[in-house]
Structure 1
Amino acid sequence: MYPTDLTETQWQFIEKVLLPQERKRKHSLQQIWNALFYLVK
């Protein structure tokens, strides 16, 4: 876990905004968001 990772509460808020995907993902959207925040810090 990195300091830039989203908390569970923050992720639940973002997850409500995203449209559910039919296709199974290799990586969860939460992992992708955390990676993006890590890269832009």
Structure 2
Amino acid sequence: MNFSKLTNCRKETHKMMMAVLLSSIFCFLFQQKNNHLIA
């Protein structure tokens, strides 16, 4: 069956989404910190 492959794919997609989310949050926080330092 292809089921295990599908679950694995979904896991990988979830990991990627979490990584993207985390990086965007870090980027946002970094920008906020820079804006605070400038202001």
Q: Give the TM-score normalised by the residue count of structure 1.
A: 0.34
Q: Which has the larger radius of gyration?
A: 2
**Structure with higher helix content:** 2
Bigger relative CO (Cα 8 Å, ≥ 6 apart): 1
